[in-house]
Amino acid sequence: MIRRPYNRDAGSGRMRRYSALGVVACAAALLPLAGCSNILHVDDPDVATTGSLENEASLPVLLAGALSDFQVAYGGYAGAGGSSGEGEIDVSGLLADEMLHVGTFPTRQQIDQRKIFTDNGQLDDVFRELQRARVSADRAVRVYNQFQPTAPGAALAHALEGYTYIFLAENWCSGVPVSTVTESGETQYSPPRSTDDLLNLALAQFDSASSIASAAGSDAADYGNLALVGKARALVDQNKLSDAAQVASSVPDDFEFLIQHSENTTTEYNGVWYMNQNTGRYSVVSEEGGNGLPYLQSPADPRVPWDTAARKPFDTTISLPLLEQLKYPDRGSPTVLANGVEARLIEAEAKLDGGNSAAYLPILNDLRATVELAALGDPGSPAARVDQFFQERAFWLWLTSHRLGDMRRLIKYYDRTADEVYPTGDYYRAGTVYGDDVSLPVPITEDNNPEYKKAASTCDPTKA
Amino acid sequence: MREIRWLFPALLVLALLPAGAAAQARGTISGRVTDAASGQALPGATVTIQGTTQGAVTAQDGRYTIRNVPTGSRTVLASTLGYATLTETVNVTAGSATTVDFALQASAIQIGGLIVTATGQEQRQREIGASVGSISTADVPLATVSSPAQILEGRVPGVEVLPSSGTTGAAARIRIRGSSSISLSNEPLLVVDGVPVNNNTDAFSYGIGGQSLSRLNDINPNDIEKIDVLKGPSASSLYGTAAANGVIVITTKKGHTGATQWHAWSEQGQIKDVTDYPNNYRYVGTILTGANAGKTTTNCNILARASGACRPDSLVSYNPLRQNTPFRTGYKQTYGLSASGGTERTTYFLSGAWSGTQGIYSNNNLNDLNLRANLGTTLTQDLTAQISTGYVSGDYQLPYNDNAVEGFIGGGLLGSPTSKNTTGGYYGYPMEYRKSFELRQSPNRFLSSLNATYTPMPWLSIVGTAGLDVTNNEDTYTILPGVFPSDVDPDYAEGQRQVDAVRERTYNATLAANTNYGIASDLTGATSIGGQYRRESRAHSFAYGQGLLPGTKSLNAASHLFQIGETNRDTKLAGAFVQQQLTWRDLLYVTGAIRGDDNSNFGQDFGLVWYPSVSASWVVDEEPFWPKNDIVSTLRVRGAWGVSGLQPGFRAATTYFNPVSAVVNSAEVPAVTIGGAGNTDLKPERSAETELGFDAGLLSNRLGLEFTYYRKISKDELVQRVLAPSLGLSSTQWFNLGEVHNSGVEGTLNIHAVRAPMISWDVTLNGQTNHNKLVTLGEGVAPIIFGLGGATQRQQEGYPLGSYFQQPIESYSDANGNGIIEPDEVQVGDTAVYLGQPFPTRELSFNTDLTLFGWLRVSALLDHKSGMKLYNATEDFRCGALLNCFAIQDPSAPLADQARAVADYWYSTVAGYIEDASFTKLREVSVTLSAPQRWAKLARVNNLSLTLSGRNLATWTDYTGLDPEVNFAGTANFSTAEFLTQPPVRQYVARIDVGF
């Protein structure tokens, strides 16, 4: 912008020179604005804009994004300094009887202690991540529908979206909104949706996934089975056990769908490992609050591998040791989303018939034989059979975000009370007791959703 | 572009207005400027020709020459800081030299100083309708300050310098006339030698618990000539979309005509931690109930013993910060040399200084080399140029503290006394491990500006300014393998290394044409038109690896868990401005201006923003009707109104996806996740400020009084509206929703108490108030809840920004008389209520400067701040979470202390720890001994002085924490608490200055 010095001899007269100077000054002043559209252009090479992803070539990236968001929401990740990192497995396990809070954050203690405030920041993070996973999968579904509606990837996107509804239904209170942002960017706020509504939304996604997977053939077989287990799981949650068993029956024993983690980036770390072994903020636990199941046995049940950690809990003031799960032994360990074992357990539960039949036992014992566990006998009473079945289910599905939903089902469909199912009585930290929550509440930030705020909220975390 | 079309013809008319002026013959004015009392020369004084853009700066012998002066009767003004402006009228004849000497009288009131404006011109303070604070470093004992921020501390009313920590090198927050912005930085714009430069106050790549580095501190105080502070939009409007928080204008030293003057200096100093840290306590007792009855407990606290759970046996205490101390006595050393001088055509100022400071921790060290070369030259009779260049090369090392488990203060204050034999009394692990974290920054910064002034005619000057600020940082983080045992932290045990490369650039170009012309016999006009282009870019890349080869500290030796990343930011601004000043008899000045800006951070659906301003200044005492008297010797009344703005953050207007990695079919593939929800209508925040005030010189200008009232209304405040989680987007989205008001008064009372041959004593009192209020956050926006712990502070309508809110402790009493406050003996309110704000609402500083016998000078700065609260989170965490404070362990603690601890532990309210943080501090004391001239001559030097100084010498406060003005969050906009933060350290420095 620095002009060369004016050449005094170049002008033909003073007046002309002064006029020229004025013009030069004006031009200098206005050039920046006159050329704004060009000189203000900046490149932003680090991110992708919305429009750049709405095309066929971006489908793999969108599907990978859906998987990534799902991984964060389900198995967690590694947040900065352990201030975050939990996903559905951790948080549902914390409210249930799988995990114990051994850190210093009161927000995590609220969840473990079953006294959750809706302004709980940790809860807000986990809820947002799950909703992002839902919307991310939905985005992939939308673009697949536009360009490759029958591709195997479309089946996976549908299935992933279905599972986000499953988690919203199983772990969160009844009354969760599921808003959308349309293709044109328009916000469509959702009113609170009941648990049953959410399960119906899940069923619709799983049906779409199954349909696409069937048409795609062997390339999409795993996605088809993933959808079948998901559908059966949703039906179980609706207490439609025979329908669920029928759906599950076609899932092979050796089927397994893993959500991959990796050492590659901290976002890909296994959050269960991170919050437990790495940061010592979560511990696994046995018989928590009296009603908790005896997960941690010596020698360890092969389905519930654990050990006492060499390090102390993050909160060094507590006298408990840190107990670490070994199901996910390192930062890259994959988590199980669905498998043939779950399908068999669904079939077994259908045979349990509310506890009145011992027909479930052969299935359980067949499964136990696969890990060289001794066969179980019939405990004799309906209540004991239910206890036995749900303990077996809890051990098989330990740390896969099933237990909280099962505890709620015990209340809803098996006539148990929360005090018979959930950790209760004195909490292990001095002077504190367990509360009454049986599910996770919708965070207070959802009040920014006008449809949610104006509807009389049905979310009651003390109701199953 | 549609909005600015009308501006073209208007600007052209203004630009060409003076073009019809007739050519004139010219002469020369020269002379000498001296101190009227002593007769000594005043170098650096400014002499100007009224009604023109012509002027000169006096040389070291006080002499000046102004050539090319139009013939006829001319009014010549001489001014310099600390003296009353003197005016002489002379008749200039063609081809001849006219001599005008000035003997300036010292004055306690300043209206004659020169201020560098956004148009690139220097303007007399008397012409500016807004209050401008000015500090000459000649008046500041440099031995007492280590940074430009410390120069500002307590010396300019309206400016709050808020030190965050005693950690050597830690950045401070600076607020001018309160906080205007809810979401954007409230730090002022920094201008050095006429160009805006990088003022990043969070310039370290690593979170070390809260503190950070500031680019302001790259500037060597020894190189600064003066600092002007434009306190808000009423003064800074022409700086446009960056100046709503005020502007700090630093002018570095320039050479003066004359022989080379050498100046050498050296500082040697000591730095000590002098804080009285509390002990850690635990009551050992016997468990009385449950399965462990009869066993020993190390936590028989007051609640446990009151409930009968245990029987106390003995109180154990330990103070690891004193008994197993991490502190050392720090050391500061500085060596500097400068040379200045020049001819009538060329002046120069060259300096070089090396400074090495060892902080109080072994891993807190600062070393830097500062070089400066300022060159002024008269290229032709019409063309002058000033080139300023500065270079700093540093090596800064900071320790963990504050909200970091790796910190020393946290380790020491959160430990249990029963862990003395395992961790040395520290929390988690021993103190020695904490010394092993090595976090460094090695900046290389090149600051340069070119100011060229072309004056083809006396009434016209064209000023071009170009600036380049290049900062290249290498930040490194290292923890060597084998220091941490793997059972303490398996990741640290492996060794870790991260290297961050940060490249920051600020480019600036301004071109302005300035004209002065007569309109009528008593009325003159001055018009400026110009344009500015600015670009700020930042490129940051990093690499990380873990599992280091023992004996190495290089990424090359890392074995796994590699991470890489890159972030880039780029912001561009273009603006144009026009300013019109009308001057009536050099007594009344009325100025109007407008600036239009466009900016790459604005939303794509938003166009230009306009910043108008108007001001008036009237020097009443020079009016013919004003009776000349010694009671009110000088009187100026002034008023100003102006608007300026703040740009939205980079990418705030854009919806985007962040790239991530995902594993698909056992392979890492690129993926995306939602990054931010943009707003295409986003526009800048706009602050409109009105101020009214006066400057009065009383009792023959021995007493100077400045008073200013201001009111600033900030609208279109950017608010991060929290998005409903169910949308599945980012957590927040930016909107222009809020409105914030600031108002207050500022005053300076400057007293030349004694002026006698053997003694001179000056006293300055600076006072200020600030009333800050968040008027609205926008319809439907819930209060923004934040702060340490997640919910201790709020942005809530009707209250000051950053206010503390908690459920109050309504009452407590020891109802059962057992000497213990139990949970049912404390009543806590149901809802959170306002408890106070974190920023001072009142400040009063007292500066005194006593000179005896011409060779002994004593200076002191006493600073009082009040009206603010501070969350004492250190004690809260000790009592409510770690249970190692006296109040929760021992019933002999005062009941009030027990009550706040119990309310914290039992009811989760920290209201009892949000305390009045008013304080008075003796910040600086210095004693300077100047050698008499004959002694100096014996040493073959021109002058020789020794200064002994102390900093942070005493604090008076009722605040019960470690220190009432530290902040765990460093330079965070509003998050404020004392949480395991290093308190200020005491510093003693001896400085020798030699001139030759």
Sign of the dihedral through C-alpha A335, A341, A344, A348:
negative
- Regarding predicted confidence, which is higher, A350 or B35? A350
Of A23, A61, A121, the CB nearest to B670: A61
**Is the pLDDT reported for residue B291 higher than 90?**
no
Got the DSSP string for A128-158? Answer: HHHHHHHHHHHHHHHHHHHH-TTSHHHHHHH
The 3-state DSSP class for residue A373 equals: coil
What average pLDDT does this structure show over A348-357? 94
What average pLDDT does this structure show over A26-39? 54
Residue B783 vs residues A153, A433, B129, B780, B795: alpha-carbon distances, Å:
43, 31, 38, 10, 6
The 3-state DSSP class for residue A31 equals: helix
Sign of the dihedral through C-alpha A292, A293, A298, A301:
negative
Which chain A residue's Cα is nearest to B882?
A317
To probe the interface with B, which of A14, A46, A115 has the most B CB atoms within 10 Å? Answer: A46
List own/partner pairs for A373-381 with CB under 8 A and 24 or more apart. A373/A301, A373/A302, A381/A355
> What pLDDT is stored for residue B789 in this prediction?
84
Residue A56 neighbours by CB distance under 10 Å: 12
Contact B527, B580 (CB under 8 A): yes
Residue B350 neighbours by CB distance under 10 Å: 18
Contacts of A274 in chain B (CB under 8 A): none
User: Nearest CA of chain A to the CA of B935: how many Å?
Assistant: 50
pLDDT tens-digit series, residues A68-123: 999 999 999 999 877 889 999 999 999 999 999 999 888 999 999 999 999 898 99
**Is the pLDDT reported for residue B712 higher than 70?**
yes
Which chain A residue's Cα is nearest to B599?
A40
Of B11, B663, B666, the CB nearest to A29: B11
Least confident span in A295-299, B6-10, B184-188, B670-674: B6-10
**Is the pLDDT reported for residue B3 higher than 90?**
no
To probe the interface with A, which of B283, B726, B785, B884 has the most A CB atoms within 10 Å? Answer: B726
Contacts of A128 in chain B (CB under 8 A): 725, 728, 731
User: Nearest CA of chain A to the CA of B63: how many Å?
Assistant: 28
* CA gap A313, B487 in Å, rounded: 11
**Is the pLDDT reported for residue B150 higher than 80?**
yes
Contacts of B378 in chain A (CB under 8 A): none
- Do the chains contact at A134 and B728, CB–CB below 8 Å? yes
Contacts of A443 in chain B (CB under 8 A): 725
Q: How confident is the model at residue A242 (pLDDT cuts 50, 70, 90)?
A: very high
> What pLDDT is stored for residue B24 in this prediction?
55
- Do the chains contact at A29 and B658, CB–CB below 8 Å? no
What average pLDDT does this structure show over A283-293? 97
> What pLDDT is stored for residue A13 in this prediction?
35
Of A1, A72, A127, the CB nearest to B509: A1
Q: How confident is the model at residue A14 (pLDDT cuts 50, 70, 90)?
A: very low
What average pLDDT does this structure show over B169-195? 96
User: Nearest CA of chain A to the CA of B18: how many Å?
Assistant: 8
Portion of chain B with pLDDT greater than 90, in percent: 81
Q: List phi, psi (to 5°) of B311.
A: -115, 120
**Is the pLDDT reported for residue A351 higher than 50?**
yes
> What pLDDT is stored for residue A18 in this prediction?
38
**Is the pLDDT reported for residue B778 higher than 60?**
yes
Of A44, A45, A449, the CB nearest to B724: A449
Which of B422, B418, B257 has its CA nearest to residue B340? B257
Our measurement of the distance from residue B839's CA atom to the centroid of its chain's CA atoms, rounded to an integer in Å, reads: 14
Residue A381 burial class via C-beta count within 10 angstroms: exposed 0-12, middle 13-18, buried 19 and up: exposed
> What pLDDT is stored for residue A209 in this prediction?
98
To probe the interface with B, which of A70, A314, A448 has the most B CB atoms within 10 Å? Answer: A448
**Is the pLDDT reported for residue B780 higher than 90?**
no
> What pLDDT is stored for residue B423 in this prediction?
94
Pairing of strands B97-99, B26-35: parallel
> What pLDDT is stored for residue B717 in this prediction?
96
Contact A354, A414 (CB under 8 A): yes
Q: How confident is the model at residue B113 (pLDDT cuts 50, 70, 90)?
A: confident
Which chain B residue's Cα is nearest to A120?
B790
Contacts of A32 in chain B (CB under 8 A): 531-533, 574-576, 598
Q: How confident is the model at residue B877 (pLDDT cuts 50, 70, 90)?
A: very high
> What pLDDT is stored for residue A37 in this prediction?
54
Q: How confident is the model at residue B68 (pLDDT cuts 50, 70, 90)?
A: confident
User: Nearest CA of chain B to the CA of A317: how many Å?
Assistant: 7
User: Nearest CA of chain B to the CA of A155: how many Å?
Assistant: 15
- Do the chains contact at B464 and A2, CB–CB below 8 Å? yes
User: Nearest CA of chain A to the CA of B243: how many Å?
Assistant: 19
**Secondary element (H or E) of residue A188:** strand A187-188
**Is the pLDDT reported for residue B976 higher than 50?**
yes
- Do the chains contact at A3 and B511, CB–CB below 8 Å? yes
* CA gap B101, B662 in Å, rounded: 78
- Do the chains contact at B450 and A2, CB–CB below 8 Å? yes
Within 8 A by CB and 6+ apart from A451, the residues are A177, A179, A189, A190, A191
> What pLDDT is stored for residue B448 in this prediction?
97
Our measurement of the distance from residue B762's CA atom to the centroid of its chain's CA atoms, rounded to an integer in Å, reads: 26
Portion of chain B with pLDDT greater than 70, in percent: 98
Contacts of A71 in chain B (CB under 8 A): 662
* CA gap A108, A296 in Å, rounded: 22
Pairing of strands A180-181, B496-520: unpaired
Beta strands in B665-702 (DSSP E): 667-676, 685-698
> What pLDDT is stored for residue B593 in this prediction?
97
**Secondary element (H or E) of residue B32:** strand B26-35
> What pLDDT is stored for residue B246 in this prediction?
96
* Type of residue numbered A120: N
User: Nearest CA of chain B to the CA of A97: how many Å?
Assistant: 22
- Cis peptide upstream of residue A299 (ω within 30 degrees of 0): yes
Which chain A residue's Cα is nearest to B13?
A22
The 3-state DSSP class for residue A204 equals: helix
- Do the chains contact at B563 and A266, CB–CB below 8 Å? yes
Q: How confident is the model at residue B458 (pLDDT cuts 50, 70, 90)?
A: confident
User: Nearest CA of chain B to the CA of A28: how many Å?
Assistant: 6
Of B380, B669, B728, the CB nearest to A136: B728
Portion of chain A with pLDDT greater than 70, in percent: 92
Output DSSP code: residue B221: G
* CA gap B380, B963 in Å, rounded: 58
pLDDT tens-digit series, residues B927-958: 999 998 888 888 889 999 999 999 999 999 99
Instruction: Provide the number of CB pairs (under 8 Å) joining chain A to chain B.
Output: 307
**Secondary element (H or E) of residue B490:** helix B490-494
Which of B412, B401, B549 has its CA nearest to residue B478? B549
pLDDT tens-digit series, residues B46-61: 898 877 778 888 888 8
What six digits make up the tokens of B608?
Answer: 């230009």
Contact A1, B452 (CB under 8 A): no
Contacts of A51 in chain B (CB under 8 A): none
* CA gap B230, B244 in Å, rounded: 10
Which chain B residue's Cα is nearest to A446?
B724
Of A3, A64, A178, the CB nearest to B464: A3
Q: How confident is the model at residue B70 (pLDDT cuts 50, 70, 90)?
A: confident
What six digits make up the tokens of A77?
Answer: 């990740």
> What pLDDT is stored for residue B15 in this prediction?
45
Q: How confident is the model at residue A429 (pLDDT cuts 50, 70, 90)?
A: confident
- H/E/C letters for each residue in B361-411? CCCCEEEEEEEEEEEEEECCCCEEEEEEEEEEEEEEEECCCCCCCCCHHHH
Of B18, B207, B427, the CB nearest to A316: B427
| B85, β-bridge pairs | none
pLDDT tens-digit series, residues B580-639: 999 998 899 999 999 999 999 999 889 899 999 999 999 999 899 999 898 999 999 999
pLDDT tens-digit series, residues A146-181: 999 999 999 999 999 999 999 999 999 999 999 998
pLDDT mean across residues, chain B = 93
- Do the chains contact at A187 and B727, CB–CB below 8 Å? yes
Residue A149 vs residues A60, A142, A209, A212, B659: alpha-carbon distances, Å:
13, 9, 11, 8, 25
**Is the pLDDT reported for residue B208 higher than 50?**
yes
pLDDT tens-digit series, residues B375-394: 999 999 899 999 999 999 99
pLDDT tens-digit series, residues A369-395: 999 999 999 999 999 999 999 999 999
- Regarding predicted confidence, which is higher, A12 or B775? B775
Contacts of B662 in chain A (CB under 8 A): 64-65, 67-68, 71, 260, 268
* CA gap B81, A439 in Å, rounded: 71
What six digits make up the tokens of B983?
Answer: 């308190």
